[in-house]
């Protein structure tokens, strides 16, 4: 038996420059196996998530769509993001890929569609971006954005099309605080989405985090997620258990209570080493060139 669907936990929202509101706290689905996705995303919706992040590359859009349909939730209540895969940049391929994503998700429209990686050496990412603007015009994407774009790439697509991406989804962790890129986002009106917000679990044993969490009476994961939220970034931690999903949502209470003071925020930011736990955009492109 599953729990009844509770009222969604009240995630704050951030405004997108293109219009609309994005829940600041969501659920990520990278590495969720296709045959486990429906059950896990149903759990995420039961726990209260109303923002799901998937991608063609993850191979699990069908499961996300099935979980959404099974939840019985009104379509407008859940914010759904998916992403264009690296081999699909060319305009005709991008159009076909987007149609396939909608089909797999069982949706007529997504809330946000992203270029997953810029692939500047092997693709014309400006043409790709121009193609995504068609999906907003025809109503099948409420907003469009990018992921893993660097400053010159952001400026190039904006200069060429006049369309500012609603978000740039980039790796941000206490080890990689991304201050210059986040400052540029703020200047351009782009929302920062922080991928791998827990550094895939690696930051949770850092003494600075463990000690501060003990002092505040929360868990390390809650503290790290609260750090992201207080910086204004959007997060969607992935977890494979209901208990951790609930635990992670406790970060919202931590933010609301205002317990994470400036000194604690600064101590966590002090872990910055400009070090990645995930792929760098350059490495991803070289993988595809193989």
Q: Rounded to 5 degrees, what are φ and ψ at 222?
A: -60, -40
Separation of alpha carbons 79 and 112, rounded Å: 8
User: Segment near ligand NAP (CB under 6 A), from 96-104, 174-182, 191-199, 261-269?
Assistant: 191-199
Contacts with ligand NAP, 240-269, as mask; x by CB under 6 A:
xx--x--xx---------------------
Nearest to 132 by CA among 83, 181, 87: 83
Q: What Cα–Cα distance (Å) separates residue 13 from each residue in 77, 156, 283?
A: 13, 28, 33
Tell me if 238 contacts ligand NAP by CB under 6 A: yes
Residues in a beta bridge with 234: 193
By CB under 6 A, name the one of 196, 231, 264, 268 that touches ligand NAP: 196
Please report how close the Cβ of residue 48 comes to ligand NAP at its closest, in angstroms.
Answer: 15
Contacts with ligand NAP, 4-43, as mask; x by CB under 6 A:
------------------------xxx-------------
Tell me if 192 contacts ligand NAP by CB under 6 A: no
Tell me if 44 contacts ligand NAP by CB under 6 A: no
Please report how close the Cβ of residue 211 comes to ligand NAP at its closest, in angstroms.
Answer: 17
Selecting among 30, 58, 113, 175, the annotated active-site residue is 58
Q: Which is nearer to ligand NAP, 127 or 204 (CB)?
A: 204
Class of residue 40 by CB neighbours under 10 A (exposed 0-12, middle 13-18, buried 19+)? buried
Q: Which is nearer to ligand NAP, 232 or 250 (CB)?
A: 250
- Which residue is closest to ligand NAP by CB? 28
DSSP state letter for 110: B
Contacts with ligand NAP, 114-153, as mask; x by CB under 6 A:
--x------------------------------xx-----
60 neighbors 30 (Cβ within 8 angstroms): no
User: Segment near ligand NAP (CB under 6 A), from 1-9, 153-161, 180-188, 195-203?
Assistant: 195-203
Nearest to 30 by CA among 282, 221, 230, 198: 198
Q: What Cα–Cα distance (Å) separates residue 83 from each residue in 3, 39, 48, 52, 238?
A: 30, 21, 23, 12, 17
In the block, tokens 């997504």 appear at: 110
Tell me if 53 contacts ligand NAP by CB under 6 A: yes
User: Segment near ligand NAP (CB under 6 A), from 60-68, 197-205, 206-214, 266-274?
Assistant: 197-205
- Residue 113 a catalytic site member: no
Q: Rounded to 5 degrees, what are φ and ψ at 168?
A: -125, 115
Nearest to 281 by CA among 112, 125, 133: 125
Tell me if 278 contacts ligand NAP by CB under 6 A: yes
Active-site residue set:
58
């Amino acid at each position: 038996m599953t729990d009844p669907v509770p009222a969604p936990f009240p995630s704050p929202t951030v405004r997108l420059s293109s219009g609309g509101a994005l829940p600041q706290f969501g659920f990520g689905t990278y590495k969720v196996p296709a045959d486990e996705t429906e059950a896990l995303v149903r759990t995420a919706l039961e726990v209260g998530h109303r923002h799901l992040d998937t991608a063609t590359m993850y191979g699990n859009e069908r499961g996300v769509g099935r979980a959404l349909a099974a939840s019985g939730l009104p379509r407008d209540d859940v914010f759904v993001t998916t992403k264009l895969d690296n081999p699909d940049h060319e305009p005709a391929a991008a159009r076909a890929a987007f149609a396939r994503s909608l089909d797999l998700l069982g949706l007529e429209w997504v809330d946000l569609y992203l270029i997953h990686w810029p692939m500047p050496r092997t693709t014309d990412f400006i043409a790709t971006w121009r193609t995504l603007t068609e999906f907003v015009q025809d109503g099948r994407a409420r907003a469009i954005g990018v992921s893993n774009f660097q400053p010159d790439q952001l400026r190039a697509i904006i200069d060429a099309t006049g369309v500012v991406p609603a978000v740039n989804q980039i790796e941000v962790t206490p080890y990689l605080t991304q201050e210059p890129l986040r400052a540029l986002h703020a200047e351009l009106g782009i929302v920062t989405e922080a991928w791998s917000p827990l550094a895939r679990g690696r930051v949770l044993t850092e003494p600075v985090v463990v000690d501060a969490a003990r002092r505040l009476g929360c868990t390390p994961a809650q503290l790290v997620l609260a750090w992201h939220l207080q910086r204004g970034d959007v997060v969607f931690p992935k977890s494979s258990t209901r208990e951790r999903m609930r635990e992670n949502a406790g970060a919202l209470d931590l933010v609301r209570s205002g317990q994470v003071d400036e000194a604690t925020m600064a101590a966590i930011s002090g872990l910055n080493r400009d070090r990645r736990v995930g792929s760098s955009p350059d490495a991803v492109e070289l993988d595809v060139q193989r």
